[in-house]
Structure 1
Amino acid sequence: MAKPNPKQPQRSVDIYCSRCRHQLYRYRKGGKGALVKCFVERISTDYTEEVGVCPSCQSQFGRQTLIRGAAAIKIIGGKVRMK
């Protein structure tokens, strides 16, 4: 399978925890769809201490995985908000 596009998308979004509204990431998102996965190489600012766990309320919002040969965080549905 192909790797994600090496050219970074122009659009940046802020990702927040749905439960406590704490900012988790600043992410360079491509496309118009919902946030299903976050490629680690596209995260521009990381506000978490542990992968997939909110530092404020300690709820798990994602799991670390490999997608198309690249490290990614698979988002659990409804656990994060995007602005």
Structure 2
Amino acid sequence: MAKPNKKGPVRTVDIYCAGCRLQLFKYRKGGKGSLVKCFKERITQDFTTNQINCPHCEQEFARDTLVRGAPALKIIGGKVTFK
């Protein structure tokens, strides 16, 4: 299967915890849709310790997985917001 584009999109979004509004990532997102998955190679800044739990409220917001052969985070619905 095809891997995601290494360079990726240029638009950067800030990803926040929906519970406590703490910033989790800066991410290069492509497209106009909702945030379903985050490819780890597109995360430009990481403000978490383990990329799965919020460091402030300890809520689990994602699961580790492989998408098209590349490591990614599957976002749990309603646990994060982005701008």
Structure 2-normalised TM-score?
0.97
In structure 2, list runs of 5 or more residues that go unmatched.
Answer: none
User: How many Å separate the matches in 1 of 2:7 and 2:62?
Assistant: 24
Corresponding residue number in structure 1 for 2:33: 33
Give the CA deviation at 1:47.
0.2
Aligned identity (percent) is: 64
Corresponding residue number in structure 1 for 2:80: 80
Superposition CA RMSD, Å: 0.6
Corresponding residue number in structure 2 for 1:42: 42
Q: Which amino acid aligns with 1:62?
A: A
Give the CA deviation at 1:18.
0.2
Runs of 4+ aligned residues of structure 1 deviating over 4 Å after TM superposition are none
Corresponding residue number in structure 2 for 1:71: 71
Q: Is the 8 A contact 2:6 2:41 kept in 1?
A: no
Q: Which amino acid aligns with 2:75?
A: I
In structure 1, list runs of 5 or more residues that go unmatched.
Answer: none
User: How many Å separate the matches in 2 of 1:9 and 1:28?
Assistant: 6
Aligned residues: 83
Q: Which range is displaced more, 17-26 or 6-15?
A: 6-15
Q: Deviations over 1:8-58 (max 9, x none)?
A: 211000000000000000000001000000000000000000121000000
User: How many Å separate the matches in 2 of 1:6 and 1:73?
Assistant: 16
